[in-house]
Amino acid sequence: MTLDGIDLTNNLIWQDEFTYNQVAQQQERSLTGGLIVQSGVKQYGQPVTLVGWLSRAMLDALRVKEGSGNPVMDLAMDDGREFSVIFNRASGVAVEASPIKETTHISQEPGAWYSATLRLLTVEPPA
């Protein structure tokens, strides 16, 4: 798995892949009491929450990218699927992590491992 050239191939899973409703629906009552239902297939906006373990070096690279605003990035999944995504800041911190070992000097090393959550959102690919 890669996110805009950052190799994330490490036990990351797409936590909310199957909790997204692909169809938007609005319901209301008419003046006569009848039910009016409008629906349409959502084009983009699916949350992609990736959870797992990442190294400190991977997290440092992600934090630099996250701090650069909201550029559209390419997400390539291990199974070949590709998405255009941005960081999803509306659902919490976009790049969240805590060290596996609670020792400060170890957690600062590039090879230290962290339990991480990446919050992304699918968007329309750039033209």
Element (H, E) at 107: helix 104-107
Average pLDDT of the chain, as a whole number: 90
22 close to 41: Cβ distance less than 8 angstroms: yes
Rounded average pLDDT over 101-109: 65
Taking only the tens place, the pLDDT of each residue in 36-71 is 999 999 899 999 999 999 988 899 999 999 998 879
Report the alpha-carbon distance of residue 104 to residue 71 in Å, rounded.
32
The answer to whether 96 touches 89, Cβ cutoff 8 Å, is no
Radius of gyration of the chain from its Cα atoms, rounded to whole angstroms: 19
What share of the chain in percent tops pLDDT 90?
Answer: 70
pLDDT at 108: 66
pLDDT at 104 over 80: no
Q: Containing H/E element for 53?
A: strand 47-55
Can you give the pTM of this predicted structure? 0.84
* Dihedral Cα 92, 94, 99, 105, nearest 10 deg: -120
Is a pLDDT exceeding 80 seen at residue 111? no
Averaged pLDDT, 74-78: 95
3-state secondary structure of 60: helix
First to last CA, the chain: 23
Query: Is residue 27's pLDDT more than 80?
Result: yes
pLDDT at 106: 59
pLDDT-derived band at 99, boundaries 50, 70, 90: confident
pLDDT at 34: 95
